[in-house]
Amino acid sequence: MAKSKIKAKQNGIHKEQHAAAHPRNDGIPFDASLFENIHVNRSAVERRAATLGKRRSVKKQWQAAWLLKAITCMDLTTLAGDDTPTNVNRLCAKARTPVRQDLLDAMGMGKEKLTVGAVCVYHNHIPTAVNALQGTNIPIAAVSTGFPAGNVPLAEKIKQIELSVAAGAKEIDIVITRELVIQCRWKELYEEVKAYRKACGEAHMKSILATGEISTYTKVAKASWVCMMAGSDFIKTSTGKESVNATIPVSLVMIRAIREYQELTGYKVGFKPAGGIRKAKQALSWLILMKEELGHDWLQPDLFRFGASSLLGDIERQLEHFVTGRYSASYRHPMS
């Protein structure tokens, strides 16, 4: 019964995933009146976030199904200074077959073509990833615009985007100029992000706010609004390089901005938490948050992604526990 429930749940998600096409966010004209009166109550946000893991409990076959769902929404990432073509090739191999075949077979999922949502690399590794992912539908995401700090001239940032798109990247993760947020220079931020979106062309753009470097939730909410107004396909918490990365409270602020923007414009904008998400239990918390706050559409990879490098290993370990009743050593589930 557990196997059939997992299979039925995943098959339903798979079908909905292909039916979940929605108009791309074209952005809207800059209008500060839409967000200038936003004031986020920090205490209320943190109280709501603190209850999340206590009110919901996902167990047994349902937990396994949700963890398989998490894998399909994962941007499998390598952004290290010592990246080599060999590392990238191994990561892409893991992206193609993220869970061991014997575990999938035991869960009745052996014939499903389970893959991650995307592979995220630096620009110079795009050609390697393109070759390694031939024959799949896994898109390549490239970080750009002077990632992670963004402290390079605008013309160079735009050129980086154009080069990555030309090299084969289907998604571009850009970093905004944090100074503009800190100083509340919202019109300048809008023009910057709009220029990035134009340079992306058909490639989808994820705007990284680097929320760990933004002092208040109110500024996070306003920056989210500006990036969406400028045409961002996704808004993303962090580069993964800050001292504080994705947290549930800051995610709550951002996804409520997404909900309000969708109610106003009709455009659905995606969300990507990144940095510090290493455990399967954490992934479940974010999935529950998306389900409760935005609904089922945001449980699909076209509207939700995890930025992660080590999360997959722990999820696979939890799936082996579901199948065998025993926890295995982490080296049995290598990332690459």
Q: What is the pLDDT of residues 63-114, one digit of tens each?
A: 999 999 999 999 999 999 999 999 999 999 999 999 999 999 999 999 999 9
pTM value surpassing 0.85: yes
Distance from C-alpha of 139 to C-alpha of 117, rounded to nearest angstrom: 7
- Annotated catalytic residue: which of 7, 94, 170, 173? 173
Residue with token string 């799936």: 319
Q: Is the pLDDT of residue 11 over 90?
A: no
DSSP state, residue 162 = H
**CA trace torsion 208, 289, 40, 209 (10° rounding):** 0
Q: What's the CATH code of the domain at 107?
A: 3.20.20.70
- pLDDT for position 44: 96
What does the alpha-carbon distance between residue 18 and residue 41 come to, in Å, rounded to a whole number?
38
* Bond preceding residue 249 cis, omega within 30 of 0: no
Check residue 330 and give its pLDDT. Answer: 72
Measured between alpha carbons, how far is 230 from 121 in angstroms, rounded to an integer? 24
Q: For residue 105, what are its two tokens?
A: 């077979």
Domain count, the chain: 1
Residue 46 has pLDDT above 60, yes or no: yes
Share the mean pLDDT of the chain: 92
Q: Which of 7, 222, 268, 272 is catalytic?
A: 272
Could you report the per-residue pLDDT of 149-202, keeping only the tens digit for each?
A: 999 999 999 999 999 999 999 999 999 999 999 999 999 999 999 999 999 999
Q: Indicate whether 317 pLDDT > 70.
A: yes
Q: Which of 7, 194, 219, 236 is catalytic?
A: 236
Overall average pLDDT of the 241-245 stretch = 92
Range with the poorest average pLDDT among 52-56, 289-293, 320-324: 52-56
* Stretch 279-305: mean pLDDT: 96
Tokens of residue 118, six digits: 């995307």
Q: Within 13 Å of residue 241, how many CA atoms lie on the same side as its CB?
A: 15
Contact status, residue 117 vs residue 204, Cβ threshold 8 Å:
no
Under the banding of pLDDT at 50, 70 and 90, the label for residue 329 is confident
Which pLDDT value is given to residue 296? Answer: 94
Active site residue 173: yes
8-state DSSP, 304: B
When pLDDT is cut at 50, 70 and 90, the band that residue 56 belongs to is confident
Domain range holding 157? 2-332
Q: Is pLDDT of 119 > 80? A: yes
- pLDDT confidence of residue 5: 52
In this predicted structure, the answer to whether residue 2 has a pLDDT above a threshold of 80 is: no
Nearest to residue 232, comparing CAs of 22, 24, 21, 20? 24
